[in-house]
């Protein structure tokens, strides 16, 4: 087996066995969650990075006409113990 084939096989196995929660929550998932929880329409969404922390900021328009900013932490950068 060549080195390249062995490397690719190891990479595939690593990705296959890593839990999905390790990757954190995507901006699209956070946006859907904010809209569902607040029962609101999404106005804008962005990811803010401060140091090692990533937070998704989603602006939503509620049924009452109030604009709220929902912040959802992306826990993909937390250290494992």
| pLDDT 10s digits, 9-50 | 877 766 666 555 456 888 999 999 999 999 999 999 999 999
For residue 18, being part of any structural domain is answered with: no
- Say what the alpha-carbon torsion angle 4, 7, 8, 10 is, to the nearest 10 degrees: 160
CATH number at residue 45: 2.40.50
**Does residue 1 sit within a domain?**
no
* Residue 60 belongs to a domain: yes
pLDDT value for 77:
56
80 is a domain residue: yes
Provide the whole-model pTM.
0.65
Sign of CA dihedral 73, 77, 11, 4: positive
Asked whether the beta carbons of 35 and 41 are under 8 A apart, the reply is: yes
- The answer to whether residue 34 sits within a structural domain is yes
Q: Given this model, what pLDDT does residue 19 score?
A: 54
3-15 as b/e, with b when 16 or more CB fall inside 10 Å? eeeeeeeeeeeee
Report residue 24 as tokens: 């954190």
């Amino acid at each position: 087996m060549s080195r390249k084939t062995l490397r690719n096989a190891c990479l595939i196995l690593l990705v296959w066995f890593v839990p999905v929660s390790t990757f954190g929550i995507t901006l699209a998932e956070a946006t859907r969650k904010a809209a569902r929880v607040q029962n609101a329409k999404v106005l804008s969404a962005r990811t803010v990075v401060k140091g090692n922390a990533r937070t998704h900021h989603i602006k939503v328009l509620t049924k009452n006409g109030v604009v709220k900013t929902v912040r959802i932490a992306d826990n993909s950068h937390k250290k494992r113990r």
